[in-house]
Amino acid sequence: MITRSIINKLKNTNKLFNKYLSTVNKNEVDFFSKLSKHWWDESGEFGLLHKMNGPRVQFILERIEETKKEDFLRNNITINSTTPGRDLEGIKALDIGCGGGLLSETLSRLGATTTGIDVTESNVKMAKLHSEQDPYFTPDRLDYQYIAAEDLAKQGEEKFDVVCAMEVIEHVDKPAEFLKTCSKLVKPGGHLFLSTISRTSFAKLLTITMAEDVLGLVSKGTHSHEKYIKPIELANYFKDEIKWFSHSDSAIDGGGFSSLIGSSPILNRLEGQIRGIAYIPWQKRWVLFDEGTPASTLCNYVFWARKPMNQI
């Protein structure tokens, strides 16, 4: 009975994705406007995001490095050597929902020509103000724009090797349209990285009941459980709608018992990957779990997908 219920929910994934009317949520924008001045306070409201930045960047670098090696082995595409600590040299990166620039600055320091965008004007102002304190961040290395991803995509002027939307999709309306927009901004053969929260009772307990209501680690109202998205829903959406995952090679599973214990779909390693990420309070750090670790995606997880070379 439980298994059948889960299967029916998976069949209705598109209903979940399309239940909202617009992409940018004004209430979310207003909420984060009030918090914008706290972005670079590592002991404040965004302290957990500061700690999460390392594992997220680790995930990005690992996926890009592996695909570079595979491209060389399969297609004899040359791997350009990079300066130590500059793993993203020659790459154009877009950070959607950049906030105060935590990830944007890191991508830029790693060598990527980085653009950070946000729909909260005060966030963009704070990001610019912080980057201006370091002479390294010249406009050709790091640029911030007060613009929605949809409007940037409509301009049609450029696509990016790497597009990141970290801790964003659970704050937008109509996530299906948001994901389509993200996919349009990625170059053929480029990479899309997301981090978000799974829609489980465990995630609600940790991120809302504990983090907001009990411990006050983040402001009340930061999260909405109904907007959380399960890994299987993302995987199936990219297989069936975005069509970045092949039907034959991507072992997209995750229903039944595996869904109950938080196991993620195991994807073709050249097309996508989903891994759990969790905060360990007694160590005061985030841990990136190996792919397929049981229960690892019951709460926070990271998602990677590579755009097929034959898609524009």
- pLDDT tens for each residue of 1-17: 333 333 343 344 444 44
Is 234 inside a domain boundary? yes
Which domain range does residue 239 map to?
A: 2-306
Is 216 inside a domain boundary? yes
118 is in an annotated binding site: yes
The total of structural domains in the chain comes to 1
Is 312 inside a domain boundary? no
Is 36 inside a domain boundary? yes
- pLDDT tens for each residue of 148-158: 999 999 998 88
Domain CATH code at residue 198: 3.40.50.150
Residue by residue, DSSP assigns 242-264 as: S--S-TTT------HHHHHTTPP
pTM of the model: 0.85
CA 298 vs CA 50, 51, 60, 202, 205: distances in Å:
21, 20, 21, 7, 11
State the Cα–Cα distance between residues 116 and 96, nearest whole angstrom. 6
Is 26 inside a domain boundary? yes
97 is in an annotated binding site: yes
167 is in an annotated binding site: yes
Is 91 inside a domain boundary? yes
Is 311 inside a domain boundary? no
Is 240 inside a domain boundary? yes
38 is in an annotated binding site: no
Q: Are 39 and 101 in contact (CB under 8 A)?
A: yes
State the Cα–Cα distance between residues 27 and 239, nearest whole angstrom. 31
56 is in an annotated binding site: yes
Per-residue pLDDT of the chain (312 residues; tens, 9 = 90+): 333 333 343 344 444 444 433 466 666 555 545 556 788 889 888 889 999 999 999 999 999 999 988 888 777 666 666 777 899 999 999 999 999 999 999 999 999 999 999 999 899 999 999 999 999 999 999 999 999 999 999 998 889 999 999 999 999 989 999 999 999 999 999 999 999 999 999 999 999 998 888 988 888 888 899 999 999 999 999 999 999 998 534 445 444 434 444 556 778 888 999 999 999 989 999 999 999 898 999 999 999 999 999 988
Q: Are 20 and 224 in contact (CB under 8 A)?
A: no
